[in-house]
Amino acid sequence: MQTFFELIQNFINEFNQIGTYILIFTLLPTGIFLTVWFRFLQLRHVKHTVKVICGKYDDPSDPGDVSHFKALTTALSATVGVGNIAGVALAIKLGGPGAIFWMWLVALLGMMTKFAECTLGIKYREKLDDNSSSGGPMYYIEEAFGKFSKKLGKLLGTFFAIAFVFLAFDVGNLIQSNTVAETLVVSYGIPKLVTGIILSVTLFAVIIGGVRRIGDVTSKLMPLMTILYVSCALLVIVLHIGHIPEVFGLIFSDAFTGTSAVGGFVGSTFVIALRMGVSRGLFSNEAGLGSAPIAHAAAKTHEPVREGLVASVGPFIDTIVICTMTAFVILVSDVWHTAPADLQGAPLTVAGFQAGLSPFGLGSLASHIVNLGIVLFAFSTIIGWSYYGERALTYLFGTKPVFAYRVLQCGATILGSLFAVEFVWALGDTLMVFTTVPNLLAILILLGVITKEVKSYFERMKDA
């Protein structure tokens, strides 16, 4: 007879067989609808958005905890992770170069989804006992479904918050810390326990200061790690600049025709390229998942639309900039179809850097570049998701359990470093479906509110 745990694990494994398709067929249509409804707003107001991010509208007297820029870097710190290195490589290996085209499309649509959810994050945020701001889908889900029944609104808001607390430990911590520990023990022989302790102590030093310290750290860490990784990738791309036209040709042609098996390449069809590109894009930039509104709800502003515009930049930076850098390294170096079939994920990215730099005597740097990217991206994800879980917990129980929660998060980094549990990965996939669906439904229910806010804001903003 199966134990209760085995029953749960079997349910999760079965559910995850369709979970990816649930995400694709909810997130993608929502992104298309919002983009059309708001007439490509995410592209029409780029100049104004840049002004906001650069601080033109920052006002210390506005409600909130951190600047627009720090809210963006906090959200990006949680979004930019191992998937930008390993996930992109997997998409290309299984779906071919055409998967990148679909990732770009998903990012474009995701910009609008993230605009909508983060606008609501500011609109329905609340002030806590400690005078900090707290917002996110749990608040506007309660508001949206409360239109039908207050009990239903509270129930779904609570459901979302509970799922997000578990996600913060799962996807946001255990998986990330385990990836870092595995990387460092394999590459440099650093014991997993040592990695776990260092991660734990460093994390505690950051999150004990709350969102203001998190904002201070991510505002420096996020640009630094992005510049370092992108610069290294650009070096490979520049050294193989002559292959760029061919790479673009592959991406666009393969997007609609698929690629036949070549050498060690697994091979793909149009359907596989579409599925891998869409799923990797959705998982990478997290648009619609409900994570970013929690970070952006801390922004110092009285204008929900203003912060929504800032948030819309997230998928562009995450997918169109960072993911594209990884993709181009793999494609210009030609390892996407010359590498052995079992070489996938981060090792394929390492192979791309190695093949791209070796002709110039720099191949030995490849593993260090990718390893540094994994460590920085994963640790920043832990920081961001720790804050997400904290705010979800606050929605449920108030501010009293926050300190204990922070201690538990630090303990989880040690646990994750030591053990890799397959169940943890599977549970994360399931929880993402459970948070995304109510979040998207709430956005659509509150579409009239968003539309009213957009109209009001741009009527008042002459430089937009």
Total structural domains in the chain? 1
Are the C-beta atoms of 406 and 192 separated by less than 8 Å?
no
Name which of 454, 442, 308, 436 is nearest 27 in CA terms: 436
pLDDT of 1 over the 60 cut: no
Give the model's pLDDT for residue 270: 64
- 246 inside domain: yes
Rounded average pLDDT over 378-399: 95
- The token pair at 42 is 């995410």
Within a 10 A sphere around the Cβ of 84, how many other Cβ atoms? 27
What are φ and ψ of residue 81, in 5° steps? -145, -155
Q: Tell me which of 108 and 344 has the higher pLDDT.
A: 108
Q: pLDDT tens across 105-120, in order?
A: 999 999 999 999 999 9
Give the model's pLDDT for residue 263: 43
- The token pair at 388 is 């997400």
- 291 inside domain: yes
- The token pair at 160 is 């979302």
Within a 10 A sphere around the Cβ of 423, how many other Cβ atoms? 13
* Alpha-carbon span 311 to 295, nearest angstrom: 9
Q: Tell me which of 260 and 156 has the higher pLDDT.
A: 156
Rounded average pLDDT over 298-307: 96
- 403 inside domain: yes
Give the model's pLDDT for residue 261: 40
* Alpha-carbon span 285 to 316, nearest angstrom: 8
pLDDT of 90 over the 50 cut: yes
Q: Tell me which of 164 and 346 has the higher pLDDT.
A: 164
The CATH number assigned to the domain holding 177 equals: 1.20.1740
* Alpha-carbon span 118 to 304, nearest angstrom: 8
Q: How many CA atoms lie within 13 A of 275 on its CB side?
A: 13
- Ranked by mean pLDDT, the top range of 5-19, 251-265, 306-320 is 306-320
Residue 92's alpha-carbon distances to 127, 234, 248, in angstroms, are: 44, 19, 14
- 6 inside domain: no
* Alpha-carbon span 287 to 98, nearest angstrom: 21
Name which of 424, 430, 416, 429 is nearest 179 in CA terms: 416
Name which of 54, 168, 15, 41 is nearest 113 in CA terms: 41
Q: How many CA atoms lie within 13 A of 112 on its CB side?
A: 25
* Alpha-carbon span 8 to 54, nearest angstrom: 48
Residue 407 sits in which domain range?
11-460
Report residue 203's pLDDT band, with 50, 70 and 90 as the boundaries. very high
Three-class SS state of 291: coil
- 305 inside domain: yes
Within a 10 A sphere around the Cβ of 403, how many other Cβ atoms? 11
Rounded average pLDDT over 304-331: 95
Strand partners, 126: 134
DSSP H or E segment with residue 126: strand 126-127
Strand partners, 66: 299
Mean pLDDT lowest among 38-47, 336-345, 431-440: 336-345
- Ranked by mean pLDDT, the top range of 54-58, 135-139, 224-228, 348-352 is 135-139
Residues in contact with 154: Cβ distance below 8 Å, sequence separation at least 6, in sequence order:
142, 146
CA angle 308, 385, 17 (to 5 degrees): 95
Report residue 285's pLDDT band, with 50, 70 and 90 as the boundaries. confident
Mean of pLDDT over the chain: 89
* Alpha-carbon span 14 to 64, nearest angstrom: 42
Give the model's pLDDT for residue 266: 47
* Alpha-carbon span 182 to 236, nearest angstrom: 26
pLDDT of 265 over the 70 cut: no
State the amino acid at position 108 in one-letter form: L
pLDDT of 267 over the 60 cut: no
State the amino acid at position 9 in one-letter form: Q
3-state helix, strand, coil in the chain (%, to 5): 80, 0, 20
- 415 inside domain: yes
What are φ and ψ of residue 126, in 5° steps? -130, 160
Name which of 85, 179, 167, 81 is nearest 418 in CA terms: 179
- 3 inside domain: no
Mean pLDDT lowest among 107-116, 148-157, 179-188, 299-308: 179-188
Q: Tell me which of 364 and 295 has the higher pLDDT.
A: 295
- 4 inside domain: no
